Structure 1
Amino acid sequence: MISRESSTGESALLPGVHDLGTILVVEDDPRMQQVLQRMFSAEQYEVIKAEDGRTALELFRTKKPIAVVLDLILPNVSGRELCQSFKSTAPETPVIIVSAISEVVDKVLLLELGADDYVTKPFSPRELMARVQAAIRRRRKTPLADSYRFAECEIDFKKMTATRKGTAVALTSHEFRLLKFFTDHAERVLSREELLNEVWGYNCYPTTRTVDNQILKLRQKLESDPANPTHFLTIYGAGYKFIP
């Protein structure tokens, strides 16, 4: 792909060159910005760059990227706050975290805020590209259904709203995605590994406790008696099953 960088920090496509979509790179290190821009431009993506949180929010709203690559430590607005803002504005847009922070607790927190994947610095460019493209494919492959009802609950996946007994229930974007996967595979036993791979996008993740914690939260929010669930069932030695 042939591109030129504009005065606003965007990688502008030359006329007649095919473009697969725009990726927003949020990174305050100029050298890392250049590495990421070259990498995505070579694969026919347009690249827009932001080195601080305020600029990133503005570009996200105006340019509507198909994916975001996000560093955590930024001026003005933290990466965690940005992740939450991005997902509140456009929950279908993949956000891939790229950070030197490798602690499992930080990864779990970001996943619960809605991040689609987490790549630790230093990283392999090929691995990062594969994860970004996989996240984009997952979103294009499984568009959200309009709504789903079970027992006392009504879920609108497009509007990202949920109610139980007519009362609004606050779900995170990841909880909506997990719930969507359950409703798409009702009455089927799903292993923790399959849930991690299909919902979180990980072929291998340090702990399956992430899944357990998310299902516990779904029970607390959507079950009449979370201690004795009737919809989100544990199948001991196998995984979980959703019964409408």
Structure 2
Amino acid sequence: MSKEIKIALVEDDENLRFLVAERLESEGYKVLEAGNGEDAEQMIIAEQPDIVLLDWMLPGKQGSDVCSSIREKGFDKLVIMMTAKAQDVDKIEAYNFGVSDYITKPFNMDVLIAMIDNKIKFSLNSDKAESYRFSGMEHHPNTHLLIKDGRKVELTILENRILLYFLKNKNKVINREELMMEVWGYNADVNTRTLDMHIVRLRKKIEDNPDSPQFLQTVRGIGYKFSHE
């Protein structure tokens, strides 16, 4: 890596923190560690890491509060929430604390590293926080915001992942399986109806007329295509 990438690792379980830190350092990342929310917040604001790996359940201040708080203080880099169980993911989906993405425990270290490498490849290639423009709209994936006609529209994590994938693959026909793999990951236990439901919700946020979409078009029998000049 050309520049040193700093990752703030916020986890109260010392064993897990040690294991994750050791692996990240062996991959060439610089790791900053904190075991509770208050310390984490001060560290993140002072050090401005490139990525925050944040545990959902922390002593004292919860992960979600830490995330809201650093966002309010202007931290706009990646925040990946580590959650212990799937139902926490629903909470993350429902309320936007400004989490960029999440991974559920117990996670495989290789999956975590692949996720981080992937994020870094995309977000640090551009000097400023990553953003995409299309047709008068602007998408800021790290903070889940869509600016449409000057108004802020909040996206859920899954809508954010879907839109980002389409924006990286403009005018390409993407089949449903590929999209589901990208959005829900390896062991995705989702059916295509769930995907279609998220697409419908996303269309309501980006299309002027969601019933005859201009951008997010259905390709019959295959999947979708994000059509844009």
Distance of aligned partners of 1:30 and 1:204 in 2 relative to their CA distance in 1, 3 Å threshold: closer
Matches within 5 A, 1:124-203: 124-140=108-124, 144=130, 147-149=133-135, 153-155=136-138, 157=140, 160-164=145-149, 168-172=151-155, 174=157, 175=159, 178-198=162-182, 200=183, 202-203=185-186
Q: Figure out how many residues of one structure are paired with residues of the other and give that number.
A: 217
Moved more, 220-229 or 107-116: 107-116
Alpha-carbon distance between aligned partners in 1 of 2:76 and 2:117, rounded to the nearest angstrom = 17
Specify the alignment match of 2:202 in structure 1.
218
Bigger-Rg structure (1/2):
1
Matched, 1:243 2:215: no
Q: CA deviation at 1:206?
A: 2.4
**In the aligned structure 2, how far is the partner of 1:136 from the partner of 1:191?**
25
- Contact map agreement 1:117 1:131 (CA 8 A) in 2: no
Q: Supply the distance in 2 between the matched residues of 1:239 and 1:50 (Cα, whole angstroms).
A: 43
Q: Could you report, residue by residue, the CA deviation over 1:152-171 in whole angstroms, capped at 9, with x for unpaired residues?
A: x432649955123xx51413
Contact residue 78 and residue 100 of structure 2 kept, 8 A: no
Please tell me whether the aligned partners of residues 146 and 155 of structure 2 are also in contact (alpha carbons under 8 angstroms): no
Partners of 2:122 and 2:187 in 1: how far apart?
A: 17
Q: What displacement does 1:24 show?
A: 0.8
Counterpart for residue 33 of structure 1: 17
**Aligned in 2, Cα 1:117/1:99: closer, same or farther, shift over 3 Å?**
closer
Change (3 A) 1:213 1:63: farther
Structure 1 segments unaligned to the other structure (5+ residues):
1-17
Measure, in 2, the Cα distance between the counterparts of 1:57 and 1:66: 14
Aligned mates of 1:130, 1:176 — CA distance in 2: 19
Structure 2 segments unaligned to the other structure (5+ residues) = none
Call closer, same or farther: CA 1:79–1:192 in 2, change over 3 Å: farther
The offset of 1:26, in angstroms, is 0.9
- Whether contact under 8 Å (1:100, 1:120) holds in the other structure is yes
Q: Verify the 8 A CA contact 1:37 1:47 in the aligned structure 2.
A: yes
Determine the structure 1 residue equivalent to 2:88.
Answer: 106
Of all paired residues, the percent bearing the same amino acid is 24
